[in-house]
Structure 1
Amino acid sequence: MHEVVLRIEQPSACADATLGTETTIELWCNDHCDLLHVSGPMGKEALAHLEELVGVQELLVEGNERLAMTETCLKDRETDTIEAYLARHSCLLVPPLRYAKGEKWCRILALDSSNLTGLYRDLVDDFPVVVESKREISTVPGDRPLLTPETAIADLSPRQQEALVIAHEMGYYRIPRETTTAEIADEMEIERRTLEEHLRRAENKLVDGIIEFY
């Protein structure tokens, strides 16, 4: 079995809602409705954009995180979906779909690598596509099917990723520490409290994602 992660600039309501922002959207389609995880400082505005199309019947909010169940399925409102391309090349989409910076992130499986090649060629005829990663899956542990760090760990917002990377590069996680949150905040040109909030949320997501599989 073969796996590829593609970034596709395919116009859609979710992609449009994240364009030019730090908002990310994860979507699980259930045919009759969708489950949306919206993260980022402009998540409220992004969700309001989607609510106009499909409605929201349930909503949980915690800080910049929003978990919503829609009233209808977004797929019914859009004509250019990834499913038609997948069916054409016998490929399987592994949910959730992820949207960030106006792009759709798709994790796709196929039994034969030639199917993925055909899918890619078909997509690039219509949209800009970037291959983010690819691998061959030769064994599948029974207790953790198709588990990768990307699927085990909750997605971080772009700002959380940036804060974590810069903190690591500046030696914040070394023993002893080689920098302070104030110095990292200066590097990112943000307030210290904002930086610390980004780090706390990123660390919580990473720990929760790892602990779940122990």
Structure 2
Amino acid sequence: MPEWAQHPMHRLIDDHEAVHRSELLEWNVTGEQRIALVFRVLADRDVYERALRETASIREYELVDGRAGELYLYVRDTPTESDRELYNAFTATNLVAVPPVTFLPGGRLTIQVLGTAADVDTVVDELPDGFAVELEAVTSMGPTDGRIGLTERQRATVAAAERVGYYEIPREGTISDIADELGIATSTAGDHLRKAEATLARSYLDGRF
């Protein structure tokens, strides 16, 4: 997301080392002037709550402690013009956003959607200027057989990590070994592995396996 379109609470991920990640779990656009949202946040509570109090658009919030240092936030916010442009890009299609929407450093966010390729193209075309979009994975809807929702690239990276001994104690393989196994850059292998491990850790903490 371009900086002008980022909410102050999302920019906090880059601006403060005590704020690491924010996941939008549920939302409800209740009118032109308000929106209700539920987030799961990994951050220092004092730092994060101070920012909530100082953000002018936030009309009401409640912050509660979760497990493993996570925070859960209910917030009623006043949408900006860029927020409305984002909502309009999606409401012009039949796409369904599948939570969470994850906000990461560098103004990045990841979102999984269910719908047609044509609708995805429509959203990309309707996004405001300055947004850059990367398609991470495409899968067919169907039974998951109880498997945790990793992308195919993430599954391949975890499998390669197992093959090279990355999870042995003591560790026998490195991120570079994983990258060589897959024929990709070391930074790309590390990124896939971190995302996969984060998904698996959250799934465990949420009681999904």
TM-score by length of 2: 0.58
Is 1:23 the equivalent of 2:27? no
Q: Which amino acid is the alignment partner of residue 33 of structure 1?
A: A
| 1:155-192 superposed Cα distances (whole Å, 9 cap, x missing partner) | xxxxxxxxx9xx9899552255449xxxxxxxxxxxxx
| 1:25-80 superposed Cα distances (whole Å, 9 cap, x missing partner) | 1122144632221114x56423432344243334115564212223x2x3x33232
> How many pairs are equivalent?
162
Q: Which has the higher contact order (CA 8 A, sep 6+)?
A: 1
For the residues of structure 2 that align with 1:122 and 1:113, how far apart are their CA atoms?
Answer: 14
For the residues of structure 2 that align with 1:115 and 1:204, how far apart are their CA atoms?
Answer: 29
Any conservation in 2 of the 1:92–1:109 contact (CA below 8 Å)? yes
Moved more, 97-106 or 31-40: 31-40
Is 1:56 the equivalent of 2:61? yes
Structure 2 unaligned runs (5+)? 30-34, 152-157, 174-196
Q: Percent identity?
A: 17
Q: Please, which of 96, 103, 108 is the counterpart of residue 99 of structure 1?
A: 103
Any conservation in 2 of the 1:25–1:98 contact (CA below 8 Å)? yes
For the residues of structure 2 that align with 1:114 and 1:204, how far apart are their CA atoms?
Answer: 31
Any conservation in 2 of the 1:14–1:25 contact (CA below 8 Å)? no
Secondary structure at the residue paired with 1:149?
coil
Q: Please, which of 102, 105, 108 is the counterpart of residue 113 of structure 2?
A: 108
Q: Please, which of 64, 70, 76 is the counterpart of residue 65 of structure 1?
A: 70
Alignment of 1:129-140 (within 5 A): 129-137=132-140, 139-140=141-142
For the residues of structure 2 that align with 1:91 and 1:64, how far apart are their CA atoms?
Answer: 33
Change (3 A) 1:131 1:92: same
Any conservation in 1 of the 2:98–2:111 contact (CA below 8 Å)? yes
Any conservation in 1 of the 2:148–2:200 contact (CA below 8 Å)? no
For the residues of structure 2 that align with 1:84 and 1:202, how far apart are their CA atoms?
Answer: 31
Change (3 A) 1:80 1:140: same
Aligned to 2:87: 83
Change (3 A) 1:131 1:84: same
Change (3 A) 1:169 1:132: farther
Offset of 1:24 from its aligned partner?
0.7
Aligned to 2:201: 205
Structure 1 unaligned runs (5+)? 1-7, 151-163, 180-200
